[in-house]
């Protein structure tokens, strides 16, 4: 999965805002919550940061400074094509392919070759069994070459975005018109490949990732509402701040077409 380095500053800031610790919960919760898992926390931050800085729509948003990462625009169709080529390099050689192991079910086992069974069992052992005493080997040279090729392909397709320094509220800025996808069926064509790849990287279903990201976005929306209350009343005392829980019933709350977003 290819991501621009520019998103990691946003990831660090959102981590603090959302209170993610990247630690496993110490106790057993009565309900399973995706945000309790460190890998879900991390991939959620990556997805939201990517959506803020490099959204999947065609709306033009203009940065106020040439130093902002949003001076570059990702061509998501080319990204998806490069990712498919990267993923297919292993399946073309008769392998399951990294990230596809989570999709295997009991029916697939009967049609696997011996090498595919070995590949799946190695993945299962490394991910679900105790291998704390083992030392991971270096990355496969073929993998490194394929990753480098994909990075070059995607980077070459980056497009420049005009910088508008004027302080004009009518100029759409990065992060504006942020769209929240609450269900898998809400994903547009340009966003689906990225979400699918992100879900495979951490080994969860697409619907689980969409739900986890949506819940985190809901918390950010509530945080923005609290900031507006502080600006309105001039004092945070006496204001009941929104508390977030992944089991909250979000009803019709949405961030679709919201002009409010954290500033990076």
pLDDT of residue 253: 38
Distance CA(101)–CA(120), nearest Å, equals 6
Give the pLDDT band (50/70/90) at residue 3: low
Report the run of H or E that residue 73 belongs to, with start and end: strand 72-73
Point out which residues pair with 72 in neighbouring strands. Answer: 160
Residues 6+ apart with CB under 8 A from 257: 177, 178, 179
Distance CA(48)–CA(7), nearest Å, equals 9
Residues 6+ apart with CB under 8 A from 142: 89
Task: Give me the mean pLDDT over the 24-43 stretch.
Answer: 77
* 68: exposed, middle or buried (Cβ count in 10 Å: 0-12, 13-18, 19+): middle
Give the pLDDT band (50/70/90) at residue 218: very high
Higher pLDDT, 180 or 115: 180
Nearest to 204 by CA among 32, 69, 76: 32
Q: Is residue 263 predicted with pLDDT exceeding 70?
A: no
Give the pLDDT band (50/70/90) at residue 249: very low
Give the pLDDT band (50/70/90) at residue 248: very low
Query: Residues, the chain, total?
Result: 264
Task: Give me the mean pLDDT over the 103-123 stretch.
Answer: 78
pLDDT of residue 90: 61
Residues 6+ apart with CB under 8 A from 172: 59, 60, 61, 62
Q: At what angle do helices 38-53 and 7-18 cross, to 10 degrees?
A: 120
pLDDT of residue 241: 45
Task: Give me the mean pLDDT over the 144-154 stretch.
Answer: 80
Q: Is residue 187 predicted with pLDDT exceeding 80?
A: yes
Distance CA(177)–CA(246), nearest Å, equals 24
Q: Are 198 and 209 in contact (CB under 8 A)?
A: yes
Residue by residue, DSSP assigns 104-157 as --HHHHTT--HHHHHHHHHHHHHHHS--TT--PPPPPHHHHHHHHHHHHHHHHT
Residues 6+ apart with CB under 8 A from 125: 131
- For 21, the token pair is 């610790």
* Whether this model's pTM surpasses 0.75: no
């Amino acid at each position: 999965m290819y991501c621009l380095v520019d998103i990691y500053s946003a990831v660090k800031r959102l981590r603090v805002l959302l209170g993610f610790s990247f630690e496993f919960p110490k106790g057993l919760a009565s309900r399973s919550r995706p945000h309790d898992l460190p890998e879900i926390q991390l991939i959620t931050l990556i997805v939201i940061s990517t959506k803020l800085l490099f959204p999947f729509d065609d709306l033009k948003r203009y940065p106020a400074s040439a130093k902002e990462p949003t001076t570059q625009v990702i061509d998501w169709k080319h990204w998806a094509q490069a990712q498919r080529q990267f993923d297919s390099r292993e399946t073309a050689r008769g392998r399951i392919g990294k990230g596809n192991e989570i999709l295997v079910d009991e029916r697939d086992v009967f049609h696997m070759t011996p090498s595919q069974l070995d590949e799946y069992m190695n993945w299962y052992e490394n991910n679900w069994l105790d291998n704390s005493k083992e030392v991971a080997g270096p990355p496969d040279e073929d993998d490194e070459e394929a990753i480098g090729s994909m990075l070059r392909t995607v980077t070459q397709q980056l497009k420049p975005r005009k910088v508008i320094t004027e302080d004009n509220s009518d100029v759409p800025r990065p992060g504006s018109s942020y769209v929240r996808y609450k269900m898998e069926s809400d994903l547009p064509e340009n966003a689906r490949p990225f979400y699918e790849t992100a879900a495979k990287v951490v080994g969860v279903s697409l619907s689980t990732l969409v739900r986890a990201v949506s819940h985190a976005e809901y918390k950010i929306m509530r945080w923005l509402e609290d900031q507006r209350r502080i600006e309105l009343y001039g004092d945070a005392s006496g204001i009941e701040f929104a508390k977030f829980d992944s089991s909250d019933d979000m009803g019709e709350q949405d961030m679709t077409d919201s002009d409010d977003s954290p500033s990076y």
